[in-house]
């Protein structure tokens, strides 16, 4: 019997097009041609490769099962579907990487104080290579020894002439850069930078016609990240209103107040408000001492027709996202860039070893992003555990967990959410789940999540005990203790493969066996699978800081119970005090 020839179709994305056939999955066709698309599990479970269908027809390759991610009516999973016509797809939950950043030489033009602890640094590019950036992007200043610092570009792109970049830099007491290098910089000094970086930007097309109001939230020098967006919005004249809420301790922290006052007088739709924490500085106007998001909510914006950009402290970004989405802001219209002091950056000290090929990251990767994703994932696991009640079955628990992650601001999961009850806590995630198993009054359960927060992968899991389940409590503590001791071996220089040999020995000291099917893995800016899907247990080198997850699952040697604990491997200068 003669086989039918494959039909070829064109798939159009926001940033690219590629050819596919009706004989292969849309995802396989994209990856084979080097097209940047989101993906992770490639089994249809995580939902990472979901796409909204704007035009065209498609067909499922395999029927869904109870583990399959449930898509909306206008969505498909690229790994589970093939084209049946030309297709136009978009990814509301993911932005394609911007043009690759370059290495550029610059010279210092000026260094001036903006406030007591804030310095304005202006540099000019010296190389002939084009440097095109979008409002909201940032760069990395590079220094001897492999260290770098990330700073938002505080000025809008110029129309012509030499490219000058402005940075607002807050002093970090004892900081190697702000106390050591910055005070000595003088006009004419040479520096190197990498950029542009970042995807929290003003859209080149001006954005959706549905959006009429722009709200900007900033704390401290996060103002530098949103000010170019403010100026781009005023220049476009598309927004009916542009409103900035700027948080600081005192009025001096709002160092650009005179400029903003002048702009406010010139543009009828522009308003800005200070949110100050120093009570003495706000005695005359108690409203000013609210948090930026509280001021925004109290102002009564039409959130259904607004877009929000937030830049600053991660705690502010997290709180603002949750409160504004609850107030009616569409989740996709909250765009953010969080920052942490440079002391927590993976690259603030010389690297301890040459970066291995398995440890590649994307152009937007920062340690601040990983640390923020970790904190949010830890909080999410604790909150999800508190929502689970006896009588729930596993499917209901996973539904509750995923709904809570969306409520907290996760755009999607890079791996499926796993919840295990009772005797299922012995089983690794790679084994089928009994979705009908019911949580009992005295029971042990595992919560393991893989959410994506602002383009960074979180991954955290822990074991919890209902009632007085002594064996489960002992097993749960064993998993945490094995993690703690194995992490110390990593800090002492053990390879990834050696870590799991050590963990196996430690587990037996606690009357447990290590479940070897759980081998540890990478995390990074989403999706890390673009760089590789290698396992920690296969690494014959010392794993790097902040991009590997150590997974520990143990099974009791005598009783039908197990436990699970996982977290990112981090050096002491970046680790959370709550680390086991």
Quote the percentage of the chain above a pLDDT of 90: 57
Instruction: Classify residue 120 by burial, with Cβ atoms within 10 Å: 0-12, 13-18, 19+.
Output: middle
Pick from 532, 568, 528: which is nearest to 46 by CA? 528
Q: Please, which pLDDT band fits residue 576 given cuts at 50, 70 and 90?
A: very low
Structural element, H or E, at residue 374 = helix 367-387
Per the structure block, which two tokens stand in for 380? 């999410």
Which has more confidence, 553 or 14?
Answer: 553
Which has more confidence, 128 or 370?
Answer: 370
pLDDT mean across residues, the chain: 87
Listed range (1-5, 198-202, 366-370, 409-413) with the worst mean pLDDT: 1-5
pTM, rounded to two decimals? 0.63
Residues with Cβ within 8 Å of 382's Cβ and at least 6 positions away in sequence, in order, are 462
Query: Model confidence over 327-364: pLDDT tens digits?
Result: 999 877 888 875 555 433 333 333 344 568 898 887 66
Query: Model confidence over 502-511: pLDDT tens digits?
Result: 999 999 999 9
d(CA 169, CA 550): 35
Q: Mind listing the domains of the chain with CATH numbers?
A: 8-90 (3.10.20.30), 102-197 (2.40.30.10), 213-344 (3.40.50.80), 357-568 (3.90.230.10)
d(CA 421, CA 393): 9
Q: Please, which pLDDT band fits residue 241 given cuts at 50, 70 and 90?
A: very high
Structural element, H or E, at residue 167 = strand 164-170
Instruction: Tell me how crowded residue 395 is: count the other CB atoms within 10 A of its CB.
Output: 15
| Span 11-38, average pLDDT | 88
């Amino acid at each position: 019997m003669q086989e039918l020839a494959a039909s070829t179709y064109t798939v159009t994305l926001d940033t690219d097009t590629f050819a596919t056939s009706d004989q292969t999955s849309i995802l396989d066709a994209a990856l084979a041609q080097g097209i940047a698309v989101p993906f992770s599990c490639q089994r249809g479970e995580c939902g990472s490769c979901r796409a909204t269908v704007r035009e065209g027809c498609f067909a499922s390759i395999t029927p869904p099962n109870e583990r399959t991610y449930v898509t909306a009516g206008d969505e498909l999973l690229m790994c589970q579907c093939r084209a049946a016509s030309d297709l136009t797809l978009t990814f509301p939950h993911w932005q394609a990487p911007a043009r690759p950043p370059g290495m550029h030489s610059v010279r210092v033009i000026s260094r001036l104080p903006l406030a007591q602890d804030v310095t304005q640094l202006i540099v000019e590019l010296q190389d002939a290579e084009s440097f095109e950036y979008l409002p909201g992007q940032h760069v990395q200043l590079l220094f001897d020894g492999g260290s770098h610092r990330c700073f938002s570009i505080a000025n809008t792109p110029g129309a012509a002439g030499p490219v000058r970049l402005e940075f607002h830099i807050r002093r970090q007491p004892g900081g190697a850069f702000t106390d050591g290098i910055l005070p000595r910089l003088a006009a004419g000094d040479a520096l190197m930078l990498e950029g542009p970086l970042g995807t929290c930007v003003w859209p080149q097309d001006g954005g959706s016609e549905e959006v009429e109001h722009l709200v900007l939230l900033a704390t401290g020098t996060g103002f530098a990240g949103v000010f170019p967006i403010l100026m781009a919005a005023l220049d476009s004249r598309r927004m009916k209103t542009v409103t900035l809420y700027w948080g600081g301790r005192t009025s001096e922290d709002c160092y650009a107040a005179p400029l903003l006052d002048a702009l406010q007088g010139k543009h009828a739709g522009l308003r800005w408000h200070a949110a100050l924490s120093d009570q003495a500085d706000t005695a005359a106007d108690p409203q000013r001492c609210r948090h930026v998001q509280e001021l925004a909510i109290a102002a009564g914006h039409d959130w259904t027709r607004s877009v929000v950009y937030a830049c600053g402290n991660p705690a502010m970004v997290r709180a603002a996202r949750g409160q504004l989405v609850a107030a009616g802001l569409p989740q996709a219209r909250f765009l953010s860039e969080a920052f942490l002091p440079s002391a927590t950056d993976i690259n603030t000290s010389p690297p301890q070893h040459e970066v291995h090929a398995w440890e590649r990251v994307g152009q937007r990767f920062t340690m601040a992003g990983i640390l923020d994703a970790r904190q949010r994932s830890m909080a999410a696991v604790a909150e999800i555990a508190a929502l689970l009640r006896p009588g729930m079955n596993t499917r209901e628990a996973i539904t509750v967990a995923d709904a809570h992650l969306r409520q907290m601001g996760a755009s999607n999961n890079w791996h499926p959410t796993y919840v295990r009850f009772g005797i299922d806590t012995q089983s690794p995630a790679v084994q089928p789940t009994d979705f009908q198993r019911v949580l009992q009054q005295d029971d042990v359960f595992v919560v393991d999540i893989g959410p994506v927060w602002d383009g960074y992968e979180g991954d955290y899991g822990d074991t919890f005990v209902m009632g007085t389940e002594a064996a489960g409590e002992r097993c749960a503590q064993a998993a945490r203790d094995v993690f703690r001791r194995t992490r110390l071996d990593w800090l002492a220089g053990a390879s990834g493969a050696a870590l799991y040999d050590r963990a196996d020995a430690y587990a037996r000291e606690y009357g447990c066996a290590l479940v070897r099917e759980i081998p540890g893995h990478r995390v990074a800016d989403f999706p890390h699978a673009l760089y590789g899907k290698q396992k920690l247990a296969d690494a014959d080198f010392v794993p790097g800081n902040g991009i590997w997850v150590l997974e520990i699952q143990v099974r009791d040697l005598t009783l039908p119970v197990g436990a699970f604990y996982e977290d990112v491997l981090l050096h002491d200068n970046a680790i959370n005090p709550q680390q086991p």
